[in-house]
């Protein structure tokens, strides 16, 4: 069952009250005009192209699953793969600024050990337990890696080092994967750009004057540049799916409560789907990597996600397909995105119509005309997410690295005179949390419950909702400060605590990626990935930022 939510719904009064409150700081004070308006008006710097991938390293375009098989079958050495990724990173990172800290020499040594182990012979059991043996991976610096920095983008934590591996790192290593580097992230993780005062700002590989998204923007930028084989991410408000969208990649956010969070942004790892909307995920050039990688970080909870379920896409399509014209509201947006998305979905509907016709149902018949899905919850996406964020562990003390309560007004004053060690977006969020009203708990919980019951009741275990990713393509650097709620279509998935896969759908006339989210009821991750696989074939797959030299 396909539903497509297109009506741009927003609680306008609630959004405007917050927006006006935050932007009043900007417009009322000349220094803020200098801080914000100046970089935005300069078109955010020139576009610097990503160099094409050398033909000798063309295997970097293959899936991690394929690379692992080649290593196991002695068609490719782990050392050669690791060295190729390192060489590619060194080629593109001066343009992207995606790497926070590396462990290249150690990774090469570990790759050599893998090659020696394979040369001496692996048992079938050993091979089965290590499905990604010898394949290198990168991950956000918020994922604890023993002996490596754990700043989460905070200047006050610039000397902090992780004392042990996170559970996800442990599981990835047990699966045979090799940690190559930790990547950049936004200060305190939650923002639509990947920028902080420790490591600087990461650029979008499709246009270096634009954001790659956050908080896994560096991971998406590397993936879109053939500069990482596996990209381990996390998502509490779109942090996996947003960068995947802005950089033209696939990104899967699993059902929350199934991926162990110990050691990720100081989580303990005992969270359930009732405790959190945070989940680990992956960004990839290939849909086929997402299920096996998700199984690794889900561990003994992987069966709950039914990732091995066989999904007949024709039967899924045969039930219903909901679509409507785009009626985006409120956010600043590009008309071309709306027009192009409309064309994409008309094309998509036509392709599905052909499939349905083959099995006896003609969607062009007026009696079978699809109806769009609507619910009041889509009018309050940001407000619902904001409420459920108050139920997550409080991270406000991290603002000072646990050295007292942060003072929002004091930090604002410091920023005005250039003395704050924090990014403007972090101060803005602190001001919002300190001074602006929080959503009413009873209202938020009641609406969320009704929203889930209605949507998941309609979807059941055999339906998906096609949901817009954002009202704009990758935004220019700093411009997110003027439209801070444009991530709400990602955030609502977190508030609903359900799985969703970001799927690329080609590029616009400027070469910037377009895409859509595929959402399913909790524990129906296989449906999201099956539809993503179908769309991968129909719409050309990832939107890479460069070519492979011929």
Q: Residue 493, Cα to own-chain centre: how many angstroms? A: 12
Task: Say yes or no to pLDDT of 130 above 90.
Answer: yes
So which residues are the catalytic ones? 140, 215, 239
Give CA–CA dist 485/383, Å, rounded: 10
The percent of the chain in helix, strand and coil, each rounded to the nearest 5, is 45, 15, 40
For the entire predicted model, the pTM comes to 0.89
Per the structure block, which two tokens stand in for 28? 């009322």
Predicted local distance difference test score (pLDDT) of residue 168: 98
3-state secondary structure of 98: coil
pLDDT digits (tens, 9 = 90+) for 297-353: 999 999 999 999 988 876 665 443 343 433 333 333 445 555 555 555 565 555 544
CA 484 to CA 265: how far, in whole Å?
22
Quick check: helix, strand or coil at residue 67? helix
CA distance 279 to 259: 6
Judged against a pLDDT cut of 50, whether residue 188 lies above it is answered with yes
Cα Rg of the chain (Å, integer): 22
Residue 36: per-residue pLDDT: 44
**Token pair for residue 345?**
């979905």
76, 59 Cβ separation under 8 angstroms = yes
pLDDT at 224: 98
Determine the Cα–Cα distance for residues 19 and 467; give it in Å rounded to an integer: 24
Q: Has residue 9 got a pLDDT over 90?
A: no
Distance CA 374, CA 358 (A): 29
CA distance from start to end of the chain: 42
pLDDT at residue 115, rounded to an integer:
98
Q: With contact defined as beta carbons under 8 Å apart, do 502 and 285 qualify?
A: no
**Mean pLDDT of the 99-123 span:** 97
Given this model, what pLDDT does residue 343 score?
Answer: 55
Q: In sequence order, what are the residues at sequence separation of 6 or more whose Cβ sits closer than 8 angstroms to the Cβ of residue 366?
A: none
Mean pLDDT of 491-510: 94
Tell me the two tokens of residue 449.
Answer: 């419950």
Beta bridge partners of 253: 500
């Amino acid at each position: 069952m396909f539903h497509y939510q297109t009506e741009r719904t927003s609680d306008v009064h609630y959004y405007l009250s917050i927006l006006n409150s935050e932007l009043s700081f900007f417009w009322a004070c000349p220094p803020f005009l200098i801080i914000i308006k100046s970089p935005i008006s300069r078109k955010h710097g020139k576009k610097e192209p990503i160099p094409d991938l050398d033909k000798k390293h063309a295997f970097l375009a293959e899936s991690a699953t394929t690379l692992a098989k080649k290593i196991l079958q002695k068609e490719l050495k782990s050392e050669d793969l690791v060295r190729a990724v390192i060489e590619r990173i060194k080629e593109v990172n001066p343009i992207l600024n995606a790497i926070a800290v590396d462990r290249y020499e150690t990774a090469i040594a570990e790759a050599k050990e893998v090659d020696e182990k394979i040369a001496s012979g692996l048992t079938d059991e050993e091979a089965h337990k290590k499905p990604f043996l010898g394949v290198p991976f990168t991950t956000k610096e918020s994922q604890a890696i023993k002996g490596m920095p754990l700043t989460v983008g905070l200047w006050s934590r610039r000397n902090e080092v992780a004392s042990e591996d996170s559970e996800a790192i442990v599981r990835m290593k047990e699966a045979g994967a090799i940690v190559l580097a930790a990547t950049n992230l936004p200060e305190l993780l939650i923002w639509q750009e990947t920028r902080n005062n420790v490591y600087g700002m990461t650029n979008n590989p499709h246009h270096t004057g634009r954001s790659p998204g956050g908080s896994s923007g560096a991971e998406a930028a590397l993936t879109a540049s053939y500069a990482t084989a596996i990209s381990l991410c996390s998502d509490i408000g779109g942090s996996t799916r947003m960068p995947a969208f802005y950089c033209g990649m696939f990104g899967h956010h699993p059902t929350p409560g199934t991926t162990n969070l110990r050691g990720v942004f100081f989580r303990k790892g005992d969270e359930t789907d009732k405790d959190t909307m945070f989940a680990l995920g992956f960004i990839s050039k290939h849909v086929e990597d997402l299920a096996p990688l998700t199984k690794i970080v889900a561990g003994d909870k992987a069966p709950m996600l039914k990732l091995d379920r066989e999904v007949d896409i024709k039967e899924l399509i045969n039930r219903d397909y909901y679509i409507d014209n785009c009626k985006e509201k409120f956010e600043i947006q590009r008309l071309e995105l709306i027009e192009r998305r409309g064309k994409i979905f008309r094309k998509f509907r036509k392709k599905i119509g052909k499939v349905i016709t083959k099995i006896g149902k003609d969607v062009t018949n007026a009696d079978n005309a699809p109806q769009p899905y609507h619910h009041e919850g889509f009018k309050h996406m940001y407000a619902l997410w904001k409420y459920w964020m108050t139920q997550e562990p409080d991270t406000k003390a991290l603002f000072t690295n646990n050295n007292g309560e942060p003072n929002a007004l004091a930090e604002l004053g410091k920023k005005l005179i250039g003395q704050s060690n924090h990014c403007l977006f972090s101060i803005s969020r602190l001001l919002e949390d300190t001074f602006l009203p929080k959503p009413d708990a009873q209202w938020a919980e009641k609406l969320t419950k009704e929203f889930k019951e209605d949507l998941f009741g309609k979807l059941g275990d055999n339906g998906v909702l096609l949901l817009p990713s954002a009202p704009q393509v990758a935004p220019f650097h700093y411009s997110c400060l003027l439209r801070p709620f444009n991530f709400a279509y990602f955030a609502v998935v977190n508030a609903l605590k359900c799985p969703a896969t970001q799927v690329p759908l080609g590029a616009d006339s400027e070469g910037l990626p377009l895409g859509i989210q595929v959402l399913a009821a909790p524990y129906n991750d296989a449906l999201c990935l099956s539809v993503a696989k179908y769309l991968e074939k129909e719409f050309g797959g990832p939107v890479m930022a460069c070519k492979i030299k011929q």
